[in-house]
Amino acid sequence: MKDFAGKIAVITGGGTGMGRELARQLVAEGCNVAMCDVSEAAMAETKRLCEVEKLPQGLRVTTHVADVSIEDHLKRFRDELAEQQTTDKIHLLFNNAGIGGGGSLFTNTREQWERTFNICWGGVYLGVRTFLPMLVKADEAHIINTASVNGFWASIGMNQAHTAYSSAKFAVKGFTEALINDLRLHAPHVKCSVVMPGHIGTSIVSNSRKVQSGDGSDRLNADEVALTRKRMVAAGVPDADKMSDEDIQATFAERARSFLEDAPTSAAQAARIILDGVKAERWRILVGEDAKRLDERVRATPEQAYDRAFYESFTQEVGWRLG
């Protein structure tokens, strides 16, 4: 697929971050977009940004509220798309939606763990299941599944568990690689790519908290404050056990701000790398220099990938401040 003009793209998680930037750049290239998200307001802003400059005649941008971990939501999204975009086929499927959280089998609840896993992995699986018939009906099509560097390196540091997200992203990577031959055998006109971003400037920290808690607030609840303080103590943060609840709130807010604003790669840059990778029909798309360096390091010394020295030398090299 050398260009996107006149095509129809589905984007999950289109309300913010890479999903929003994918929508904006696809629309700028003349592609119709149907996006879903749990936040109607966030999607409305994405649509507004897509329409800042008048859309070409006939180009459509539609928004659909859906939780990608719930199959009936995705089926409703598919049916609304077919009606509003007046089509029985799509050309691009970006399974982009994801959240963090549920890092530990010990300190997080089963509900938190499975919420993360079911969105990050289940949303990709159900997305492909739901939209595959519409992709097959197109003359050419491409499935783009967002994994992460945590799809080949299951860590964000020595002091914080990261099991739910990493497990999900490993599943996305393996699933997409297995799809290569499945598609080749049964629908050779449909291609697929796995996207593995490093640290991208998005609102995933704050958005994940909102989805996990279900209250839509930017503030931690009492249980989250206690867990955050416990993690900070374990990480050796000076006097973390003496910090007030408001100090903990401020620390979380700063982490969310820093993740968004201080990232080495912006969401817009990430979207451009992804779209260029699709045009080049690359099945493996690393996003960011940090992702490329981490990939090289893990491949070179896999047995040392979870040692403290590996993490410390890597974070020093690329400037990560996570974990």
Q: Assign domain 8-202+266-318 to its CATH architecture.
A: 3-Layer(aba) Sandwich (3.40)
Using one digit for the tens of pLDDT, what is the confidence trace for 268-282?
999 999 999 999 999
**pLDDT score, position 209:** 63
pTM of the model: 0.89
pLDDT at 96: 98
> Per residue in 206-224, pLDDT tens?
666 667 767 677 788 888 7
Q: Give dist(CA 197, CA 292) in Å, integer.
A: 9
Q: Which residues of 239-274 are buried (b: 16+ CB within 10 A; e: fewer)?
A: ebeebeeeebbebbeeebeebbeebbbbbbbbbebb
Mean pLDDT of the region 299-311 = 95
* Domain limits, the chain: 8-202+266-318, 206-262
DSSP state of 55: P
Within a 10 A sphere around the Cβ of 301, how many other Cβ atoms? Answer: 11
pLDDT in tens, 252-265: 777 767 666 677 79
pLDDT of residue 236 exceeding 90, the answer is no
Residue 54 and residue 40: Cα distance in Å, rounded? Answer: 22
Residue 102 is encoded by which pair of tokens?
Answer: 């549920």
Asked if pLDDT for residue 156 goes beyond 80, the answer is: yes
Q: Residue 277: its pLDDT value, please?
A: 98
Contacts of 211 (CB under 8 A, 6+ apart): 38, 99, 101, 115, 119
Give the span between the Cα atoms of 285 and 279, in whole angstroms: 11
Selection from 97, 26, 111, 100 nearest residue 252 by Cα: 100
Report residue 59 as tokens.
């180009």
Contact 315, 321 (CB under 8 A): yes
pLDDT > 70 fraction of the chain, expressed in percent and rounded: 93
- Give backbone dihedrals phi and psi of 266, rounded to 5 degrees, phi first: -80, 165
Q: Is 311 a catalytic residue?
A: no
pLDDT of residue 241: 84
- The model's pLDDT over 50-102, given as tens digits with 9 standing for 90+, comes to 998 778 888 999 999 999 999 999 999 999 999 999 999 999 999 999 999 99
Q: How far apart are CA 118 and CA 171, in angstroms?
A: 11
